[in-house]
Amino acid sequence: MNALIHGVLLGGEYALIACGLSLAFGVMRLVNIAHGDLAVCGAYLVVFLGLPVAYALPLVLPIAFGIGWLLNITLFERALKAGDLAPVLVTFGLSVVIQNLLTEGATANPRTLDGGAISLAEVGGVSVLRIIAFAVAVSVLGGLQLGLSYTGFGRRVRATADDVDTARLVGIRVRPLFAAVAGIAVATAALAGVFLGLLGTVDPYTGGLTLIFAFEAVVIGGLGSLWGTLAGGIVIGLTQQLAGLWSVKFAVLAVHLVFLAVLTFRPRGLFA
Amino acid sequence: MLEIDTVTKRFGQVVVADALSLTVRPGDAVGVVGPNGAGKTSLFGMISGDLSPDAGEIRFAGLTVTRLDAAARCRLGVGRTYQVPRPFADLTVFENVLVAAQQGAGERGRAARATAADALARTGLSDLSDRLAGRLGLLQRKRLELARALATRPSLLLLDEVAGGLTDPEVAELVEIVRAARGDGLAVIWIEHVVRALTATVERLICLAGGRMIGDGPPAEVLASRAVQEVFLGVTP
Ligand SMILES: Nc1ncnc2c1ncn2[C@@H]1O[C@H](COP(=O)(O)OP(=O)(O)OP(=O)(O)O)[C@@H](O)[C@H]1O
Ligand SMILES: [Mg+2]
């Protein structure tokens, strides 16, 4: 029972990391290999600011949004124009750069963010912080999905994701739109990274594994639907926890096996 | 309002515009004919900003727009339909038109909704407002293409084969919609293989072949000229 609850809660965290990846791919066709590292940067930003998490967050989110915006107009935009492989190579390069910068600036030691008194609180054996993380994840994904469905900005994003040439033809300014989407993607990643730091430890190389899980959540959930991404995250969380009951070593492998099975038998995802 | 000034464009060996020049004034209705591959759609691409010419200039509404992207040109008043309709498939019919009214015509709130509703009414799509655009049939897609272009409130409308693939009564319906829209002083450039659909509406016809203009004038004269007859021999009956 406990494993089920933990699995679902963990799934929320994966989904929060994954939603920006899903958004950037769904709208711009950008495969962002550095997404996990950008998430980790969120946690380090809190470390560098030296403020309690609750005070740091209102700064971290806009900074992350700005970083996403800038990365888009300096790097991603150009890479997307240069062919299919270029974005993968460029963001891979960015990933390596981030890992090195973090190691230089903050050493390779694992870090934990201090959540204060609340990090010790529990209800029924479940950490309150985990419940909060899950609630935040569901709110962010739900909010994004509603925003996409019902706002003018969301309509423009959907239209542009559908057909970028036609979007321009009806007057949509694609450049700032993509930059905003990249900003949102990095801001949600940074938020997820802060929770990674609160709930466990991060080091400069945490981003790699984080990316893989996020990527798997997106694929399992099916591209294009953020609810699908949430469901995909939960599938991963549950698989990891349930397999972990049997053997901790087997847990991560089980996730990858489920991912491979989905890719083989339902390549468009379970919930698309 | 539109001046195309010795524009040249090549795709490898294929010349789609060969030092082409064309002037269109407000309210003009210009028909464009020419065999397959003549460069008709490419010309629209260069006017709307999808394609950039290798040489030459394009001026619109008093500005040189050669380097402006399609969004900027749309905001200046260039509206365009695609030969093969490209609706935003995951948006409803109303959303397709609304996004055009908001972005292309720069309208907000209620005004944008009114423009969108008006464009749907003019094209007979009001009943399908809430349908996903991806589910429409060909005639309805063509109408939506037209509605979306009208919703950007263009001063110049580029129509690329509105009639292609439709039956005669369907064509007549669309021709009527375009004629009604022209009442507002809108300039139209209209590519069509079905010459009948054109001659009733336009007062000037140009004929393109191999990226060159081989005819320009009143429709009857252009269609009767030697050069045009030669190009069309065996291409259209
Ligand atoms: N993006 C492109 N890349 C390469 N060649 C192209 C491209 N677009 C058009 N062409 C070629 O340019 C030529 C002119 O194409 P265009 O679409 O302008 O012709 P058209 O007059 O509209 O023909 P149709 O009556 O078949 O619509 C064709 O030979 C086409 O194959
Ligand atoms: Mg064509």
Q: What is the pLDDT of residue A116?
A: 80
B99 touches chain A (CB under 8 A): yes
Q: Which of A169, A172, A173 to mutate to test the interface with B (most CBs of B within 10 A)?
A: A169
Q: Are A11 and A238 in contact (CB under 8 A)?
A: yes
A155, B95: Cβ pair inside 8 Å? yes
With the most atoms of ligand 1 within 8 angstroms of its CB, the residue from B41, B50, B52, B83 to mutate is B41
Average pLDDT over every residue of A20-49: 94
The whole-angstrom distance between A41's CA and the closest CA on chain B is 35
Choice between B98 and B172, residue whose per-residue pLDDT is larger: B98
- CA A141 to CA A129: how far, in whole Å? 18
Average pLDDT over every residue of B146-169: 91
**Residue written as token pair 């997106």:** A218
Architecture of the domain whose range is A2-265: Orthogonal Bundle (1.10)
Average pLDDT over every residue of A80-104: 94
H helix or E strand, kind and range, residue B156: strand B156-160
Q: Is B85 helix (H, G, I), strand (E, B) or coil?
A: coil
The whole-angstrom distance between A157's CA and the closest CA on chain B is 10
Q: What is the pLDDT of residue A132?
A: 93
H helix or E strand, kind and range, residue B112: helix B109-122
pLDDT in tens, A146-175: 999 999 999 999 999 999 999 999 999 999
pLDDT surpasses 80 at B134:
yes
- CA A60 to CA A43: how far, in whole Å? 9
What's the number of CA atoms in the CB half-sphere (13 Å) around residue B173? Answer: 14
Average pLDDT over every residue of A246-251: 86
Q: What is the pLDDT of residue B206?
A: 93
Residue closest by Cα to atom 28 of ligand 1 = B37
Q: Are B70 and B58 in contact (CB under 8 A)?
A: no
Q: How far is the CA of B192 from the centre of ligand 2 (A)?
A: 9
CB count in 10 Å sphere of residue B51: 18
Where do the domains of chain B lie, and which CATH numbers do they carry?
1-77+157-162+187-237 (3.40.50.300), 80-153 (no CATH)
The two structure tokens encoding residue A66: 């700005």
Q: How far is the CA of B160 from the centre of ligand 1 (A)?
A: 13
**Residue written as token pair 């008194």:** A117
Q: Across all residues in chain A, what is the average pLDDT? A: 92
Q: Are A33 and A91 in contact (CB under 8 A)?
A: yes
Q: Are B157 and B104 in contact (CB under 8 A)?
A: no
Choice between A97 and A225, residue whose per-residue pLDDT is larger: A97
Q: What is the pLDDT of residue B237?
A: 44
**How do B63-64 and B212-217 pair as beta strands?**
unpaired
The two structure tokens encoding residue A253: 């492998």
ipTM of this complex prediction, to 2 decimal places = 0.91
The domain segmentation of chain A, as residue ranges, is 2-265
Q: What is the pLDDT of residue B87?
A: 96
Average pLDDT over every residue of B199-225: 89
Q: What is the pLDDT of residue B233?
A: 61
DSSP code for B54? S
Choice between B185 and B235, residue whose per-residue pLDDT is larger: B185
